[in-house]
Amino acid sequence: MAGHTDWPGLAQACRLTRTTTCRGKQTVEIDYAVTSVPRPQARAACLLSWWRGHWGIENRSHYVRDVTFQEDACQIYRGHAPQNLAALRNAVISLLRLKGHQNIAGALRNYTWHPSRLLTILGIFKK
């Protein structure tokens, strides 16, 4: 691959083909990726593992931020406010995950109805 392109650092490209069936209709999706890792260090199985790991991060973090916190609909866009809110959302998600919550939306609802529980995990209230 590296000898056939002038893209700096490119060692290999890969293609992932997914076939899914929903309501009797079959759909084929083809995605591509590039990497600077040479083939001897990252064969197909390794690249697939990395690819799945990337989407695991997407699903665990970005999806929660987009759907649960409705980050994409946020109209705050001036100064440092967007970065500050993103940091706050990340901190909340991290805190809830550290406390063992898998369902962030459910945890937020729980703490909304029981704010004393939230204040306890934040160390503001004692049990």
Query: What are 54-112's pLDDT values in tens digits?
Result: 777 676 777 888 888 888 888 888 999 999 999 999 899 999 999 999 899 999 999 99
Q: Is residue 26 part of a domain?
A: yes
Which positions ≥6 away from 24 have C-beta within 8 Å? Answer: none
Residues 73, 119 within the same domain: yes
25 three-state secondary structure: strand
Same-domain check for residues 87 and 123: yes
Give a yes or no: residue 58 inside a domain: no
Q: How confident is the model at residue 29, as a pLDDT?
A: 92
In a domain, residue 87? The reply is: yes
Please state, as a whole number, how many other Cβ atoms lie within 10 Å of the Cβ of residue 57.
Answer: 10
Q: Are 35 and 74 part of one and the same domain?
A: no
Q: Which residues contact 40 (CB under 8 A, 6 or more apart)?
A: none
Q: What is the pLDDT of residue 24?
A: 92
pLDDT given at position 2? 52
Residue 64: predicted pLDDT: 87
Closest CA to 93 of 127, 66, 58, 65: 65
Query: Are 125 and 116 spatial neighbours (Cβ–Cβ below 8 Å)?
Result: yes
Structurally, the chain folds into a number of domains equal to 2
> Do residue 80 and residue 123 come from a single domain?
yes
Question: Per-residue pLDDT averaged across 39-65, rounded?
Answer: 81
Contacts 24+ apart (CB under 8 A), 95-101: 95/121
> Which tokens belong to 8?
């700096």
Q: Report if residue 101 sits inside a domain.
A: yes
When the pLDDT of each residue in the chain is averaged and rounded to a whole number, the result is 87
Residues 30 and 73 in one domain: no
Distance CA 68, CA 66 (A): 6
26 vs 51: which has the higher pLDDT: 26
Range of 98's domain?
Answer: 67-127
Residue 73 pLDDT = 86
